[in-house]
Chain A
Amino acid sequence: MSDLLEAFRLVMATDVLVAIAASAVYGLVVGSLPGLSATMATALLVPVTFWLSPIAAVATIITASAMAIFSGDIPGALLRIPGTPASAAYTDEAYALTRKGQAELALGAGLWFSAIGGIVGTLSLMLLAPLLAEMALNFSTYEYFWLALLGLMCATLVARSSPVKAIASMLLGLLLACIGMENPAGTPRFTFGVAELLGGIEPIPALVGVFAVSEVMRAMASAEPPKLPRRRFGSILASQWTLTKTYQWPMWRGNFVGIIIGVLPGAGADMAAWVSYAMSKRFSKEPEKFGTGHPEGLVEAGASNNASLASGWVPSLLFGIPGDTITAIAIGVLYMKGLNPGPTLFTERAPAMYALYIIFILANLLMIPLGIVMIRLASRILRAPRAAVMPVILLLCAVGAFATTNSLFAVLMVGAFGCLGFLMERNGFPVAALVLGIVMGSMVEQSFVTSLIKSDGDVMPFFERPVSGVLAALTFGALLWPVLALPWNRRAKPARLKEETP
């Protein structure tokens, strides 16, 4: 109980409250601009967190990411351009509603069910994390190896990309993580005599390059998105209570699926939204209405992506294994602030953990009033010309990267990773898998090599320990899933073609 009071005291500090309010506005605005994703919004925040207290730093990340995931729905519904990849799954549906003149319903559903998903996800985090922490105390390097690998494999299960290319991206990320002397032997590897590379590839410049610079590059090569027509919105929350009652079951299913996907290391909000939308269509009583402006899928997927955002913190806090690219950034911030992830975090730093839960709830409650304001202002914010936004983003990339290490080499890295990200995206290689590879590379190697040294080069202990065996099975399942799904995919395709050409 005293821990809880202490947590409230931590959150109610002026700097934390200011940080929450400022990052909420920032997240809403950046998330709503097409092409600027939630991950990018979070990555550009990192240099700012250097100068904040630990709780305020974590609060900015939590608030900004939750707001950005919601506000990605806004341009999705109004322009048919998802603001963040997590909204892409149901963009067509939301846009169809807008065309039917029900933009309020689409946006309101995005807002209302995002907030519900976020709160349910937080409750699951509060419940699951301490339970799993007990178990995690017994984990040794074998389990950590499989967990990290499972996370990487899940990251390759991205919808709409070739699994082989996704695995190749991940391996490329792991290879980049080999650079430097941060390996079990302390030998400089692949540094080519460049002194700056001895310390390895910093995740933040890589993230900023891959997600932000490549977006500026893409803007250079594509036509400007259409301008938003001015419109007046009716009441935004009016019909949401009816929706909640009508689609109560899909909503809970969305929450549940989002939580499960979030807890899996490596799988995040994008995947949660795709899976939930597909499930919603599959189990709906009226699947024929999907795609024509039917709110059921919005309810389920909108709840799901925000629920996964909160539960994605479970593997991050417990094992230091990111649930998605956003928590990958968050883990870096946690280490920097002395809140090193691990099962003992929940016993030794209990007030900080309670504070984290409170911030989550607060952010999701704050989302409703701020979100309404944002929706009303959206037509004005989305009018900001791209030619004015992108140059400033580029400048922030340079300054932000410089701020992480105070060296110009980081700026160079940002440029290089921008080119790499642009090239990969153009050729169908998912960049999120690359980023997770870079972030988790040293952990995978460390646990792999230490385990092999412990077992004298024997691989059997990797499978013999009970938890380790289960995790191994899950990992191979994730690896083989595309192979199993291929025949099903093939059969589904001709059927879909027939539907489209009656």
Chain B
Amino acid sequence: MTKIPDHRGLATWGERLVPIDEFARASAAHGRRLDDTRRAAAVNEFHAEAFDDTPVEGPFGRVAVFGGAYSNHLALAALLADARNREAEAVYCLGDLGGFGPAPEQVRPLLEQGDVRCIQGNYEVSLAAAEDDCNCGYTDPRDNHFAELSYAYTARNCGDSFRAWMGRLPLRRRILVGSRELLLVHGSPRQVNEFLFRSTTPVAFLEVLLERYRCDGFLCTHSGLHWSKHLPSGRDVINVGVIGRPANDGRPAVWYTLLEARGSELRVEFVPLTYDHPRLAREMRAERLPEEFVETILTGWWTTCLEILPAKERAASRY
């Protein structure tokens, strides 16, 4: 068995042993020590505003926003009917049209007939560029295996015209709801495949991000679970959830978001959507999609992509 080394009075400078004072002096000699004025200037420069000339659409009184259709054409049809009943003036989709579900081309006519205003998700970025990976960023081999199956199926079943259409979608939009200017993105304002979960997205991080992108809030999807935070500055961040698969809560319903202007405030409502999920399960089986995906549609519990869940969200998960 290895002998425990005795480091008393000594420091480990790399693999060398030196007197601890020598390490302390050498360390103190490295790095910057700015005065207060220059520190404030460094922080200001670090927070430099991001250039964003996205045109603003609206104003609207009420809009419906969803993400992650994942080829779930039945949920999409249900959403369009529901949003119409609730008198949404516009419907926005935050990307990831394909993956997971059956026959990806089926969502396109629904999006066009419903006048849905889309942005690209990481799926559209990858499909339009004919990449061989969805760029979800999984590292666990099991999650990667299912992500690859899902992407390969979607890629096989998306024609050139649909891919070209995806490639023409913008990466972001800006909308005015009442007097609130909101940025619409897939992952986050800075990265198309950034996962933003409630329990790992600090308020301070969001405030800095919103300051950089000069808006009253942003809407995102990608992580698959809906949440919202009303920030101390009065701004709002809303993860609108996905309609492609349930929210890992043991219910087969999927979720979208209704935004409504209430004076100068923004009212956020998460809407559970029931749809003919047993039919979707039959269609998925007919397409020989993995039974693990079908189980999620039927039970409401995620069976894959679990590695991305933070501790709190994983604790609430069946698997």
Q: Do A and B interact?
A: no
